[in-house]
Amino acid sequence: MYTMLPFNHMSRTFNDLFDEMERSMFPAQPSGRLPAFRTDIRDAGDKFILEAELPGFDKGDIKLDVKDGILTISAQHTENKDEKDDKGSYIRRERRYGSFTRSFDITGVDDEHITASYNNGVLELNLPKAVPVVPESRRIAID
């Protein structure tokens, strides 16, 4: 038995299948770029702990910068693998490039005492909370 749907509708549905697959694999961001690395931030009382997943990066590929109350985490990786036969012709040549950047507002954090470690693809930052400055009161003597 034949379907009652017009051919162009079926064609559009077939293309929609691929569009949906692409959207599920590469979710859209406001900037139109692929999503940045995943982070978790938790409050540990006297500090915040930020964990960023950066698998495949070496510690030297990661940069942490603080400027004007903004913490920026950037990671860049370049890898080339060439395999040649005896004649110098390529058998296989693969290249992989990756670059990610994310910024965080760290207002209320003592940025002089931030510490970081990188283990098994996870960057962990300890962000100690700034101690609130209480205005000091003093008595002035009258002469």
9, pLDDT greater than 80: no
Residue 77 has what pLDDT?
Answer: 78
For residue 58, pLDDT beyond 80:
yes
Mean pLDDT of 107-129: 95
Q: What is the mean pLDDT of residues 126-132?
A: 92
26, 31, 37, 38: CA torsion to nearest 10: -90
| Chain segment 23-42, per-residue pLDDT in tens | 555 555 555 454 578 899 99
The Cα–Cα gap between 115 and 103 comes to 17
Entry field: residues in the chain: 143
Mean residue pLDDT of the chain comes to 79
What's the CA gap between 130 and 137, in Å, rounded?
A: 21
DSSP-H helix ranges across the chain: 7-25
- Considering only CA atoms, which of 107, 105, 109 is closest in space to residue 46? 109
- pLDDT 10s digits, 70-110: 999 999 877 777 777 777 776 777 777 778 899 999 989 99
Higher model confidence: residue 35 or residue 60?
60
